[in-house]
C-alpha cells in the first residue's frame, strides 16, 4: 500500500486494485501534483468531505475526461457540475456499498462528513473536519459542546481496527492541537496515522506525544510518497 500526501488534507491511498483520493486541494493550481492518467488501470474513487475550499477543488471533475469510470463520493453539501457522472452523495451516520468498496460516514464537528473506507482488506479513515475544535476565543459552552460531539463520533469506532488514519492536527488551536489525535488513539486501534490540516507547519510533529510517535508518520513536504509495509 502507498500513501501520497499532496497538500493540507489531501491524500491518495493506493492498494493493489484501487486508488482513493481524499480532499484534493490545489490552492488555485499551486499544488496540482496528480496526473490521474497514471492510475487509470485501477479503480479510482475521489472523496470530498465537505465544501470548504481547503478540502474541495473543482479540478477533480476534470479527471473524468481522462478516466470516464472514475467515481466521486461527495458529502451532500458539495454540488458538482451537471456534466459529471458517477456521483454518489453521502450523508453522515450512514453506510454505503459503492462498487468494490464499503464506506461508513461520521458527523463532522464542522461541516460535512468523515469517511471510514473498507477496501482490499484494509480500513482507511479520513477525518475531513471532524476534529476536537477547542478555540481559545470561544465560550466554555461552545468548546464543551464540540468536545462532546467529537467524543460521540469517535466512540462509534471503538471496536474498529484502522490500518491508516488521516487526522487533523491544526496549529491554530495552539496547545489544543493534538486533542483529537490523543482521544482517538486512546479509543480506537490505529496502526498508522498521518497528520493533516497543519497549514504547512511541518514542525507540528514535535507536538505529537512520545507514546504515539511509533505510529504517527512525520510529513516533510508536499507531494510526499510513503510506502506502507503490508505486514506492519
pLDDT band at 130 (very low <50, low <70, confident <90, very high): very high
Q: What is the rounded average pLDDT of the residues 205-222?
A: 97
Q: Could you tell me the residue ranges of all domains in the chain?
A: 2-227
Q: What is the rounded average pLDDT of the residues 20-40?
A: 96
pLDDT at 232 over 70: no
Burial (Cβ within 10 Å: 0-12, 13-18, ≥19) of residue 148? exposed
Q: What is the rounded average pLDDT of the residues 73-90?
A: 97
* Cα 49 to Cα 74: distance, rounded to the nearest angstrom: 7
pLDDT at 229 over 90: no
Q: What is the rounded average pLDDT of the residues 80-90?
A: 97
- Choose among 13, 204, 42: nearest CA to 116: 13
pTM of structure = 0.96
Side-chain-side CA neighbours of 145 within 13 Å: the count stands at 8
pLDDT at 181 over 60: yes
pLDDT at 168 over 70: yes
Task: Encode pLDDT of 37-53 as tens digits.
Answer: 999 999 999 999 999 99
Contacts of 149 (CB under 8 A, 6+ apart): 107, 109
Q: What is the pLDDT of residue 167?
A: 98
Asked whether the beta carbons of 49 and 75 are under 8 A apart, the reply is yes
Whole-number average pLDDT of the chain: 96
Class of domain 2-227: alpha beta
Q: What is the rounded average pLDDT of the residues 203-228?
A: 96
Q: What is the pLDDT of residue 103?
A: 98
Q: What is the rounded average pLDDT of the residues 135-163?
A: 97
pLDDT at 217 over 50: yes
Q: What is the rounded average pLDDT of the residues 194-208?
A: 96
Q: What is the pLDDT of residue 30?
A: 95
Amino acid at each position: 500500500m502507498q500513501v501520497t500526501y499532496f497538500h493540507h488534507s489531501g491524500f491518495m491511498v493506493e492498494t493493489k486494485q484501487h486508488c482513493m483520493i481524499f480532499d484534493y486541494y490545489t490552492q488555485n493550481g499551486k499544488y496540482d501534483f496528480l496526473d490521474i492518467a497514471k492510475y487509470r488501470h485501477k479503480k479510482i474513487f475521489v472523496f470530498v468531505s465537505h465544501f470548504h475550499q481547503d478540502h474541495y477543488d473543482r479540478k477533480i471533475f476534470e479527471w473524468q475526461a481522462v478516466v470516464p469510470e472514475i467515481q466521486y463520493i461527495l458529502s451532500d453539501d458539495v454540488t458538482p457540475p451537471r456534466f459529471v457522472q458517477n456521483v454518489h452523495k453521502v450523508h453522515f451516520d450512514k453506510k454505503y456499498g459503492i462498487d468494490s468498496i464499503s464506506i461508513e460516514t461520521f458527523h463532522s464537528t464542522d461541516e460535512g462528513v468523515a469517511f471510514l473506507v473498507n477496501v482490499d482488506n484494509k480500513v482507511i479513515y479520513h477525518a475531513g473536519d471532524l476534529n476536537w475544535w477547542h478555540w481559545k476565543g470561544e465560550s466554555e459552552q461552545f468548546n464543551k459542546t464540540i468536545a462532546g460531539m467529537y467524543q460521540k463520533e469517535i466512540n462509534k469506532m471503538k471496536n474498529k481496527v484502522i490500518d491508516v488514519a488521516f487526522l487533523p492536527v491544526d496549529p491554530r488551536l495552539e496547545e489544543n492541537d493534538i486533542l483529537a489525535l490523543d482521544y482517538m488513539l486512546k479509543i480506537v486501534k490505529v496502526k498508522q496515522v498521518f497528520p493533516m490540516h497543519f497549514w504547512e507547519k511541518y514542525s507540528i510533529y514535535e507536538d505529537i506525544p512520545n507514546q504515539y510517535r511509533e505510529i504517527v508518520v512525520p510529513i516533510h513536504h508536499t507531494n510526499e510518497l510513503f510506502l506502507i509495509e503490508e505486514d506492519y
